[in-house]
């Protein structure tokens, strides 16, 4: 590359320009232009890399923000196959998959590795649904502590079903005995009524009736709930009715939301009922961290 025509015109004495040989002066000028050109190219490259990095970060954030929320449906595998061929978590999962297209629904069981909730799954879970009955004591305390932390500190939602009231996790979140006043298999059906139609869990739900042969009776030993969207009245085998009792209760536990649904005995097809499925999908959306 030559810049002869761009060399400044200066006085020349004895073949020198200001003490330098003409050839050296020309090379110095050429190097100056070269350095400027290299600086410009380096700056362009830096900007290109920066923009590329920003684009990569933006794409990663978009992918992360666009990822589906996760609801894990956990049960212990003790429901009779004649009523729940794929256990209760299977029935609940099927209902949620049909209703919540923007959620990833994952069934889990105490019989799975790490009791169904390895860290990789628990740490990305937005809402955990729990059905337990005969194996409460088999759930490891270490797992309970992890779940409680995810609810209280991270804002994961927790939904307890029926006999889950005695689950270690539920008692830890409630900080109470979580016992009912009475347990009887003397009922035929329960009429569930919407007490608070403005509550998100009651959205689109009307009064309905389900078969329920096991009756829980007040009082329920838990902290005073923040909301009670549903109440129920049991019809007994002797023709009488049990007084009104709370069927759906809501709390905050730390940063997380907790919902308990009393209905759901394992010998009754409760979780195939369309009204119950609607309550479940509403509860998942209500309990999700983004709704806090």
Distance CA 241, CA 189 (A): 10
Average pLDDT over residues 148-173: 98
Distance CA 155, CA 153 (A): 6
Distance CA 127, CA 292 (A): 12
pLDDT more than 70, % of the chain: 76
Choose the weakest-confidence range: 9-18, 29-38, 170-179, 233-242: 9-18
Answer with the residue of higher pLDDT: 254 or 34.
254
Q: What is the CA radius of gyration of the chain?
A: 34
The pLDDT value recorded for residue 47 is: 38
Average pLDDT of the chain?
A: 85
Angle at 195 between CA 271 and CA 162, to 5 degrees: 30
The pLDDT value recorded for residue 182 is: 95
pTM: 0.78
The pLDDT value recorded for residue 243 is: 87
Distance CA 266, CA 35 (A): 80
Helix (H, G, I), strand (E, B) or coil at 28: helix
The pLDDT value recorded for residue 58 is: 37
In this prediction, residue 67 has a pLDDT band, given cuts at 50, 70 and 90, of confident
Residues in the chain: 292
CA 110 to chain centre: 20
In this prediction, residue 83 has a pLDDT band, given cuts at 50, 70 and 90, of very high
Predicted confidence (pLDDT) at residue 13 exceeds the cutoff of 50? no
> Quick one: angle between helices 274-287 and 87-99, nearest 10?
80
Distance CA 232, CA 240 (A): 14
Site of tokens 């998100």? 200
In this prediction, residue 151 has a pLDDT band, given cuts at 50, 70 and 90, of very high
Average pLDDT over residues 6-21: 41
Residue 176: CB partners within 8 Å, gap ≥ 6?
221, 222, 223
The pair phi, psi for residue 37, each rounded to 5°, is: -65, -40
Average pLDDT over residues 227-244: 96
Average pLDDT over residues 276-280: 98
Q: Which H or E run includes 131?
A: strand 127-131
The pLDDT value recorded for residue 145 is: 98
Predicted confidence (pLDDT) at residue 137 exceeds the cutoff of 80? yes
Average pLDDT over residues 229-250: 96
CB 163 within 8 A of CB 212: no
Return the half-sphere exposure (C-beta side, CA atoms, 13 A cut-off) of residue 115: 17
The pLDDT value recorded for residue 39 is: 52
The pLDDT value recorded for residue 175 is: 97
Predicted confidence (pLDDT) at residue 30 exceeds the cutoff of 80? no
Distance CA 256, CA 263 (A): 22
């Amino acid at each position: 590359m030559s810049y002869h025509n761009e060399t400044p015109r200066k006085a020349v004495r004895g073949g020198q320009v200001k003490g330098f040989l003409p050839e050296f002066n020309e090379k110095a000028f050429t190097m100056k232009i070269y350095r400027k050109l290299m600086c410009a190219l380096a700056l362009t490259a830096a900007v290109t890399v920066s923009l590329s990095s920003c684009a990569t970060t933006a794409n990663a954030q978009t992918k992360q923000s666009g990822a589906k929320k996760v609801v894990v449906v956990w049960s212990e595998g003790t429901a009779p196959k004649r009523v729940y061929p794929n256990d209760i978590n299977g029935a609940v999962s099927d209902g949620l998959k049909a209703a919540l297209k923007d959620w990833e629904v994952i069934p889990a069981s105490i019989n799975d590795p790490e009791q169904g909730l390895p860290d990789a799954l628990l740490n990305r879970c937005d809402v955990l649904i729990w059905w337990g009955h005969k194996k409460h004591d088999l759930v490891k305390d270490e797992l309970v502590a992890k779940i409680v932390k995810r609810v209280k500190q991270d804002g994961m939602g927790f939904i307890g079903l029926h006999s889950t009231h005695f689950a270690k996790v539920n008692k830890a979140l409630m900080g109470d005995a979580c016992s009912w006043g009475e347990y009887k298999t003397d009922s035929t059906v329960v009429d569930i009524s919407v007490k608070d139609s403005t509550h998100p869990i009651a959205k689109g739900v009307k009064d309905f009736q389900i078969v329920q042969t096991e009756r829980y009776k007040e009082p329920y030993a838990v902290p005073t709930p923040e909301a009670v969207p549903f109440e129920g009245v049991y019809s007994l085998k002797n023709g009488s009715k049990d007084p009104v009792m709370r069927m759906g209760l809501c709390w905050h536990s730390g940063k997380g939301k907790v919902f308990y649904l009393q209905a759901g005995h394992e010998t009754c097809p409760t979780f195939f009922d369309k009204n119950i499925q609607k309550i479940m999908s509403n509860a998942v959306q209500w309990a999700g961290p983004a709704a806090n």
